[in-house]
Amino acid sequence: MILTNIEQVPGKRIVAHYGLVSGSTVRAKHVGRDFMASLKNIVGGELKGYTELLEESRKWAVERMMTQAQELGANAIVNVRFSTSSVAQGAAEIYAYGTAVTVEDA
């Protein structure tokens, strides 16, 4: 599965479009991480627990999007976008979406 965030796949030709595919996860901070983060908040700097959480949830969202594309018979997703929004206090959504296509060597 090839992913790009431009309209085509460089070096390849798009032969079929399958429309929009998307994946999302809603993540919440868990208590332990929250506690460590609140300690780290005093001195500032990177909050590693949250960075990992963000990375994990991004991977999940992308994976769900890729599964959807595979079910459609696509072998690439173009024009992928990410969007984050906070649903409630302490929980946030990460949403990945793109267009499933089939590409061939040009």
Partner 1 sequence: MTELVALLIRIALPLLVVVLAMITGTICERRHFQAIARREQALGGLPALTVKEYPADRPVSSARMVTGSVVVSIDHFKRFLASLRNIFGGEVRSYCSLLDRGRREAILRMKESCPDADLIINMRVETSSVSQGAKKTLGSTEVLVYGTALTFADQAV
Residue numbers at the binding site for partner 1 (CB under 8 A): 2-7, 9-11, 29, 34, 37, 40-47, 50-51, 54-55, 58, 80-86, 89-90, 92
Show the tokens assigned to 75: 């072998």
Q: Minimum Å distance from CB 73 to partner 1?
A: 20
CA distance 37 to 8: 40
- Residue 17 vs 81, nearer CB to partner 1: 81
Residue 5 DSSP class = S
- Residue 17 vs 48, nearer CB to partner 1: 48
- Residue 3 vs 26, nearer CB to partner 1: 3
Show the tokens assigned to 89: 């206090």
Residues 65-104 as b or e (16 or more Cβ within 10 Å = b): bbebbeeeebbbbbebeeeeeeeeeeebbbbbbbbbbbbe
Q: Minimum Å distance from CB 106 to partner 1?
A: 10
- Residue 2 vs 15, nearer CB to partner 1: 2
